[in-house]
Structure 1
């Protein structure tokens, strides 16, 4: 036994077991997130339940069975339910009954006491709406301008309803295009004319020059107003056409509700769908989650603006932090005199890596936003004041703050890479007649490139997951426009952005509908993890290519 212990084999097994446990925990965590998050998009069957309440009244509930719990009877009594004293434990079901505009609640707990059997009617519809969440009910008729077009008793009802819905969705896309692009362009033009007038006032321009400028501005404004009037007429016609069709539904309680097709996103009848049909619906919903804009206070719709904002911010951060971090490391290792001051600077860099991220956010808000941004506004955007342009949190300041936060990581990694290069390589280059600068930039730096990429990988991994500093310097709950679009100058660094990390925080802790937000927290968390993995794998691939390239060159 002593010989076996001295051989080191136990430590090998111990390390292998620790690595295996870590891998199991990581895979288990990601699997849990994936099941809890992406399982939300599977079309669940709609149950109809008859319940006898405490007053002996029969009520009918329709919705999705989210989960069940077995709880002590005392807990149920504390919640206001009447439970017989001889019952110790009772099961309750959480039902997503939707119809929030009718009942005021999306999710309701129901005790199994007095609950009849679950039935799954084939004509139970789940209707996703732009507002008020899902609607659950059974169809009555499809109306067009108040007249009945089709009823469920007719064979072509589902086809007619889907055709009306497709038409409404196409009209909605056209309305969005007009509002965001063409009307947005007109609004930008009007704002630019307002700033032109403001600049003339600030410069005290008068006389013929002022008259000519005023005439130009008035003509341009009149042209934009005329274009807007044409678009407004077209927009009103599209909205009227979108409201043409109405789906008449009846709730489980028997109330009749008219739903305009303009407010409907999707209609499904999951109880009658086959497994392949549900799989197709699942992929459609998952794609919508990845590519659409959020709705209903971020509890419905997609997360595309958050994905786009995260990737854009990390990309700009990488462009900023890489040259500064590499140059600082090269100076400290290759040029700075190795004395007390250099050691103090190096220790300070190491300590900066451990500073809480919220401190960087406070610094970014005070120095970057208020000081630098305010100065830029006074120098270049005086006409827009008091409305700030760069003197308010935005994409550029968020990226710059993250660059400052990750700068020590890049410096330390690069410096360690430079230190690992043998001195014989430097001496050989100098002996062949190369200058110190040529040796550095043509020999040493290329060999240290993999270490630089390692620093960048670590910086990306930390920056993509940060939330606290971003809340102060540019990330918001909902950003109506992306920082990159077709309007000059195309990349708008002053705009606020959405971020996956902040989206998780907002949906998980700030949402008024916690049950609806729960699966989206898991789904968004998994998307964030996968995004970080993709970014890191890309950087690792580049690092490996560089390593092989310069290894072959050195051979």
Structure 2
């Protein structure tokens, strides 16, 4: 009886339902767990951790005072520590505590991080006056504020020095913003204008049309730009002098006093004296800086806005390029091509293209798009720029085109499946009412298949946004000094190199000279990449659902 009931249960398919449900649940739990791990490791980096100070004494050596943030703590076997040469008593307990301290002050200690043995660190305290100074270069600096100076003269010390220090930081930050605006926007516009005049002059020379009148007009424009540049150069020089005017004296944990120029200071804070509300305000300010600012310190400090902008811009261009080609190819294969052996071979080839390693597409893009197509464009339309390449070098356009070729099979397959699901009666009804075949396709078939097209586009965006290998060959770089979209003609610079979140993760994680400082940024950038891909996909899903509801009545 039990055997019969068990056989009936198996035949009903319930075991497979439970098995599939369990597999899906495990996959969801693992995905959420991975995202939670990335979020905790990445977002925790921006929290203003307390700074400890204590006496550290290695047995047999003089004691010294250390200050820094505790980044990591772990239990390590005594025998393993003894094997490294440390004077560890192996007859004690089985484990000892090892802590990773972010000690900063790189110009003094030589490294930002230092491993210490917890049992050898005594008299641990958290002084409220101990501050962290975040700098534009050389990482954090930890110490006690002694005084604030203006042009070498002390203007504040003691209790009033901290408030004066904060005021001077605000002033320096404002000056830095003005300097950046002058350098990137105003002087950048003039440099672009001078380069445009240089290319125009060379083009007229090559065409034999550089007469006295044309030369005079060019010289007048160049003189006007030069005069404007001299004014901006004078303003920039004044701003730099003001920027370097102030300095502070900081006392390090070992008693030494160091003078720091305030032009290198981004912010200063005392985490041990901050309330929970102040820490939350600081935390969200750092998060905003991370998504809105430019990177600095070999991409281990500052923000990653250029990488976000480059990723989104490249994916949008890819979507604009791949959609019409994929739809046209699918419409031809399904609606016009004679269904025979050749068509079946083409479909098999398209499906196989989806499995080609992405680096192969990168090599193809470099060889065909950059060297052949880009070199031809340079010879035909930009001879005045030679020997410097314009489109004959990796850039935004070629990166987008390479991704479009990479994701084209996905769009073709999804669109063709959508076309196949449309009932034949719909086509015949349209033709019976007098519409031509092209009118039937344009007004009836393609709109009804648009949800399937959006599905293909969603899959294409999801794959393209996370690709790294081909982009390293066709346009993505470690650091791009300016965005491909600005106020200089032609405004969208398709020949310019860009940053990308995926490549940024690779660079920070595996090419950074400061591994410990870069590690949390790898998690934070990975989380941001997932968020960007999710937002792009949700936007496409919303449009697909809207189209599906719009044409649901026709589908039935």
Q: Give the structure-1-normalised TM-score.
A: 0.97
Matched, 1:177 2:181: yes
1:74 Cα offset (Å): 3.4
- SS of structure 2 residue aligned to 1:118: strand
| Alpha-carbon distance in 2 for matches of 1:162, 1:552 | 64
Which ranges in structure 2 are unaligned for 5 or more consecutive residues?
Answer: 1-5
| Alpha-carbon distance in 1 for matches of 2:25, 2:120 | 49
| Alpha-carbon distance in 2 for matches of 1:429, 1:193 | 58
Corresponding position of 1:77:
82
Matched, 1:68 2:69: no
| Alpha-carbon distance in 2 for matches of 1:85, 1:410 | 64
| Alpha-carbon distance in 1 for matches of 2:427, 2:519 | 58
Corresponding position of 2:3:
none
Is this contact kept in 2: 1:53–1:59, CA < 8 A? no
1:393 Cα offset (Å): 0.2
| Alpha-carbon distance in 2 for matches of 1:484, 1:161 | 37
Corresponding position of 1:9:
14
| Alpha-carbon distance in 2 for matches of 1:200, 1:437 | 47
Corresponding position of 1:28:
33
Pair 203,436 (structure 1): closer, same or farther in 2 beyond 3 Å: closer
What are the Cα deviations for residues 344-390 of structure 1, in whole angstroms up to 9, with x where unaligned?
11111011000000000000000000001011111111111111110
Corresponding position of 2:205:
201
Moved more, 436-445 or 76-85: 76-85
What are the Cα deviations for residues 473-520 of structure 1, in whole angstroms up to 9, with x where unaligned?
000000000000111111000000000000000000111111101000
Is this contact kept in 1: 2:82–2:90, CA < 8 A? no
Matched, 1:455 2:456: yes
1:196 Cα offset (Å): 2.4
Corresponding position of 2:100:
94
- SS of structure 1 residue aligned to 2:120: coil
| Alpha-carbon distance in 2 for matches of 1:77, 1:499 | 44
| Alpha-carbon distance in 2 for matches of 1:304, 1:398 | 19
Matched, 1:123 2:126: no
| Alpha-carbon distance in 1 for matches of 2:123, 2:214 | 77
Is this contact kept in 2: 1:52–1:59, CA < 8 A? yes
Superposition RMSD on alpha carbons, in Å? 1.3
Is this contact kept in 1: 2:448–2:554, CA < 8 A? no
1:200 Cα offset (Å): 3.1
| Alpha-carbon distance in 2 for matches of 1:434, 1:219 | 62
What are the Cα deviations for residues 222-267 of structure 1, in whole angstroms up to 9, with x where unaligned?
2222211111111111111122221210111112111111111111
1:553 Cα offset (Å): 4.9
Pair 197,428 (structure 1): closer, same or farther in 2 beyond 3 Å: closer
Corresponding position of 1:526:
527
1:34 Cα offset (Å): 0.2
Find 1:153's aligned residue among 156, 159, 168: 159
Question: After TM superposition, where is structure 1 displaced by more than 3 Å over at least 4 residues in a row?
Answer: 77-80, 552-555
| Alpha-carbon distance in 1 for matches of 2:491, 2:84 | 55
Corresponding position of 2:487:
486
| Alpha-carbon distance in 2 for matches of 1:382, 1:476 | 26
Corresponding position of 1:38:
43
Is this contact kept in 1: 2:315–2:464, CA < 8 A? yes
Corresponding position of 1:477:
478
Moved more, 21-30 or 354-363: 21-30
Which ranges in structure 1 are unaligned for 5 or more consecutive residues?
Answer: none
| Alpha-carbon distance in 2 for matches of 1:146, 1:415 | 74
Q: Give the structure-2-normalised TM-score.
A: 0.97
| Alpha-carbon distance in 2 for matches of 1:379, 1:3 | 75
Matched, 1:430 2:399: no
What are the Cα deviations for residues 37-90 of structure 1, in whole angstroms up to 9, with x where unaligned?
001000000000211134431111111000112112333234342212324432
Is this contact kept in 2: 1:132–1:296, CA < 8 A? yes
Matched, 1:282 2:273: no
1:551 Cα offset (Å): 1.3
Find 1:138's aligned residue among 116, 134, 144: 144
Corresponding position of 1:250:
251
1:554 Cα offset (Å): 5.4
| Alpha-carbon distance in 1 for matches of 2:80, 2:371 | 52
